[in-house]
Amino acid sequence: MLFADLYTQNLDPLGNRFASTFVAALPVLVLFYLLVKRRWLASWAGLAGSIVAIVLAVAVFKMPADKAVLSFVNGAAFGLLPIGWTVFGAMLIYNLTVETGMFTIIRRSIGGLSGDARVQAVLIGFCFGALMEGAAGSGSPVAICGAMLAGLGMPPLRAAVICLIANTSPVCYGGLGTPVFVLSQVTGIPGDAISTMCGHQLPFLSCLIPFYMVKVICTWKQTFEVWPALLVGGGSFAIFQYFFATMHNWIPGIALWPLTDVGGSIFSMVTLALFLGFVWKPKNEWKFPANADPMTGQPSAVPTDAHAAEAQAQVKELLGADNHEDRPLTRGLVIRAWSPYVIMSLCLGVIGVVRQVEKTGPIDLGIVKSYYAIEVPTVHKQVERADRLQKPGATGDERLEKAVYDVKWLTAPGTPCVAAVLIAALVLRTPPRVLWRVFVRTMIQMKIPIPTIGCMLGLSYVTKYAGMDATLGVAFAETGVLYPFFAAMLGWLGVFLTGTDAGSNALFGSLQKITAGQVYETGVITHLTREQAEVLICTANSTGGVMGKMIDAQSICVATAGTNQIGKEADIFKAVIWHSILLACIVGTMTAVQAFVPPFTAMVPVP
């Protein structure tokens, strides 16, 4: 076969649907086996799964080797820029606050707002946890918030459990919207449309989660005693989440959805603080009795395995030193401590406007352009989707897959984050040596997450262009009317096994889009267009997936390390597994209702 020959996908290369489907699933099965059974690091497991995918694409699906390899390179490159760059920038600004001691001030300012353990759970576990998820991710919400709540007197096991439950509805916009960026890239659906769909699902969960997590730590009566605080905390976050997730529909040219978690968390904390200070307080401050939890015995002195030891080191790195622990909290000091995040929000807001300008083409900056579109050789318009996947009447280029790598260096969220770090360093009068330490610390922390993202996306791109995901999609379409529910459960499974919503979106995003199209073709979805069905089903992979975050191995290990419960991983897993399944089923039911039941079908945007 010549170097640039057209490759046409074959959904049944073995002439047996069952056998072909099994082979198409092998890369993901290998990945899951290495992650769960063999306990490999995610980066190595992702690389191994990618190698298996390339071999099967060439040997079984008859994809030319150059196309398979370059498909992987295309996905891995996108994993580095903008995704890896974004995660790096978000963690960079967090580390600046840690190294300068400002994070200690931030923690103290939040922890001192209320002495009621139920209100503290919402303020720290949910509201402040959303800030950590949006600005840093990588296990930081569970580790930091769990440690804070345990330090305030909450039994460590309970602190770990409620922080795991709280770290759900904000996850779609974690790391400055990384899961949405990934889902948009692998499906070709505009990020604005995915964000809008998230905004039509997640706010309901954001109202539910504060009530749910508080009920976990006390009785129904004690929960409803603080219902005003739960309503204000969850409701204010939900309102902001909805507005920022859908703002581009109301204010054309302004797309700030990557800031949804950061802005929503700050807005909800300020709103709840004002509510507690001037409007309402609990009649009786409720605290845990000293012997409230029978599972708070002394933790094991030796980590149970390498993952637990790694989690301990990660938590220690995230928390940093307790600088400024005894310094009086003045208004000026608190404002100064929060300034890096305010500066980051402003920088991201400016870039959000620039991103809208880029939609008409790259901006000429004189010496360079704001982005460069590179056509991937031998792949761009050299892969033809199978006939079954083509839209009616598709001809010529409409039948071919595009493969263009956009080097969007200016508007990638990582760029304004790095700019914000430099500006914040000046505001905080940070010495150059400290700034260098921040950079080195972040590089070390990202040595596993960024390669993992690259490998996961590389694997996804190989299965996408080879047609392996389409083979799986056709099989999943057999579930018909049940699939909208199971779409959320598939996302849940992906996060449980890969540890990240972005990883699940990379693995299953393209598959979900294909399956949505196939289910639509069967005629069971009648109140949506094909494009709407694809938006809904693909978004469900992410919104349902977030419920698997509380039971993935990384989150469990970080939770035990953050609350000094090493050796209690199994206890925590048993405590959260049914909450995880129930909440995922709620998202699946919500997706099914929006797929089939008017007027809820009107909530699905047209991309």
Please name the helix (run of DSSP H) or strand (run of DSSP E) that holds residue 405, with its range, or none: strand 404-407
Q: CB–CB of 160/143 below 8 Å?
A: no
Q: CB–CB of 485/591 below 8 Å?
A: yes
Entry pTM: 0.82
Per DSSP, the residues of 186-239 read: HH---HHHHHHHHHTTHHHHHHHHHHHHHHHHS-HHHHHTTHHHHHHHHHHHHH
For residue 589, what pLDDT is reported?
A: 96
For residue 299, what pLDDT is reported?
A: 35
Q: Identify the band that residue 319 occupies on the pLDDT scale cut at 50, 70 and 90.
A: low
For residue 519, what pLDDT is reported?
A: 92
Average pLDDT of the residues in 28-36: 83
Q: If DSSP codes are grouped into helix, strand and coil, which group holds residue 604?
A: coil
For residue 574, what pLDDT is reported?
A: 85
Cis peptide before 82 (omega within 30 of 0): yes
pLDDT in tens, 544-555: 999 988 887 677
Q: Identify the band that residue 206 occupies on the pLDDT scale cut at 50, 70 and 90.
A: very high
Q: Identify the band that residue 133 occupies on the pLDDT scale cut at 50, 70 and 90.
A: confident
State which amino acid sits at residue 477: A
pLDDT for 305 beyond 60: no
pLDDT for 290 beyond 70: no
Q: Say which range, 106-120, 328-342, 528-542, has the weakest mean pLDDT.
A: 106-120
3-state secondary structure 26-82: HHHHHHHHHHHHCCCCHHHHHHHHHHHHHHHHHHCCCCCHHHHHHHHHHHHHHHHHH
Q: CB–CB of 279/231 below 8 Å?
A: no
Please give the share of the chain, as a percent, with pLDDT higher than 70: 91
pLDDT in tens, 209-231: 999 999 998 899 999 999 999 99
What are the C-alpha distances in Å from 557 to residues 9, 10, 306?
Answer: 41, 42, 10
Average pLDDT of the residues in 396-420: 89
pLDDT, the chain, mean:
86
For residue 607, what pLDDT is reported?
A: 84
Please give the share of the chain, as a percent, with pLDDT higher than 90: 45
- Which residue, 495, 418, 457, 499, is CA-closest to 91? 418
pLDDT for 158 beyond 80: yes
Cis peptide before 155 (omega within 30 of 0): no
Q: CB–CB of 77/485 below 8 Å?
A: no
Contacts with 360 (C-beta within 8 Å, 6 or more apart), sequence order? none
DSSP state of 94: H
pLDDT in tens, 323-352: 555 677 888 998 999 899 889 888 888 888
Please name the helix (run of DSSP H) or strand (run of DSSP E) that holds residue 519, with its range, or none: helix 501-521
Average pLDDT of the residues in 5-10: 91
- Whole-number Å distance between alpha carbons of 320 and 437: 13
Q: Identify the band that residue 569 occupies on the pLDDT scale cut at 50, 70 and 90.
A: confident
Q: Is 10 left (phi over 0), alpha (psi -120 to 50) or beta?
A: beta
pLDDT for 312 beyond 80: no
For residue 303, what pLDDT is reported?
A: 40
Q: Identify the band that residue 294 occupies on the pLDDT scale cut at 50, 70 and 90.
A: very low
Residue of higher predicted confidence among 268 and 109: 268
Q: Dihedral angle at the C-alpha atoms of 424, 428, 430, 434, nearest 10 degrees?
A: -80
- Whole-number Å distance between alpha carbons of 6 and 329: 66
pLDDT for 14 beyond 50: yes
Q: CB–CB of 537/484 below 8 Å?
A: yes
pLDDT in tens, 37-93: 787 877 888 899 999 999 999 999 999 999 999 999 998 998 888 878 888 888 888
pLDDT for 446 beyond 90: no
State which amino acid sits at residue 9: Q
Q: Say which range, 6-10, 55-59, 106-110, 261-265, has the weakest mean pLDDT.
A: 106-110
Per DSSP, the residues of 332-364 read: HHHHHHHHHHHHHHHHHHHHHHHHHHHTTS--B
